[in-house]
């Protein structure tokens, strides 16, 4: 007698696990990109995405609109990055030391300027850049993700890029 016959729900559990595995395969790389752009720290990004997958597994039977699962996963990941960055800063303050994230080794001096400029951006601005350039989302998709109009997303992105260009001397 097969084990599935002895355990009611085992087949359903296997199907859920297979669907979840497909979900991870489809979205993991994008979530890592977003978390890495937002945090600037690979370990923190990995932790944030892992926490996102844990939340997704716990909520697996509660998805109302499967077409919005990607947006939901991005939101969970972004919120987790923010939470971990706050925790990291608090821990550093409590221990009397604040250390900036370690930048990747620069290929040239302009790369170092860019890394510095990006690290000084507000987390919301890094999220915007991550959604546009890390994930390649359109203004409409960014607007939907952030709860703003496509036009507002374009304006925010335009102003942010103009500010970065000015700061980097690319006028």
Q: Judge whether 130 and 146 are in contact, CB under 8 Å.
A: no
Q: What is the DSSP string of 10-73?
A: HHHHHHHHHHHHHHHHHHHHHHHHHHHHHHS-HHHHHHHHHHHHHHHHHTTT--S-GGGHHHHH
User: How do residues 10-19 score in pLDDT, each as one tens digit?
Assistant: 555 565 678 8
Taken in order 76, 68, 131, 146, is the CA torsion positive or negative?
negative
Domain with CATH 1.10.10.10 in the chain: 103-171
C-alpha dist (Å) from residue 150 to 80, 127, 135, 164: 24, 16, 16, 21
Convert the pLDDT of each residue in 80-114 to its tens digit: 998 988 888 777 766 665 555 555 555 566 666 77
pLDDT at 111: 64
CATH of 1-100, one of 3.40.1130, 1.10.287, 1.10.3720, 1.10.1740: 1.10.1740
CB within 8 A of 126, min separation 6: which ones?
A: 37, 38, 40, 118
The yes/no answer on whether domain 103-171 falls in CATH 1.10.150.120 is no
Q: Which comes out higher in pLDDT, residue 60 or 76?
A: 76
pTM above 0.75, yes or no: no
pLDDT in tens, 153-165: 999 999 999 998 8
């Amino acid at each position: 007698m097969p084990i599935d016959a002895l355990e009611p729900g085992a087949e359903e559990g296997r199907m859920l696990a297979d669907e979840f595995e497909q979900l991870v395969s489809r979205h993991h790389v994008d979530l890592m990109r977003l978390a890495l752009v937002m945090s600037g720290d690979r370990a923190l990004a990995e932790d944030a995405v892992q926490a996102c997958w844990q939340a997704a597994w716990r909520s697996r039977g509660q998805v109302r609109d499967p077409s919005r699962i990607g947006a939901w996963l991005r939101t969970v990941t972004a919120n987790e990055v923010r939470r971990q960055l706050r925790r990291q800063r608090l821990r550093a303050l409590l221990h009397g030391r604040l250390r900036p994230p370690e930048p990747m080794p620069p290929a040239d001096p302009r790369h170092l300027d860019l890394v510095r400029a990006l690290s000084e951006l507000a987390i919301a601005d890094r999220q915007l850049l991550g959604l546009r350039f890390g994930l390649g989302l359109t203004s409409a998709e960014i607007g939907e993700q952030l709860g703003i109009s496509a036009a507002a997303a374009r304006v925010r992105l335009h102003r942010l890029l103009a500010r970065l260009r000015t700061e980097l001397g690319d006028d």
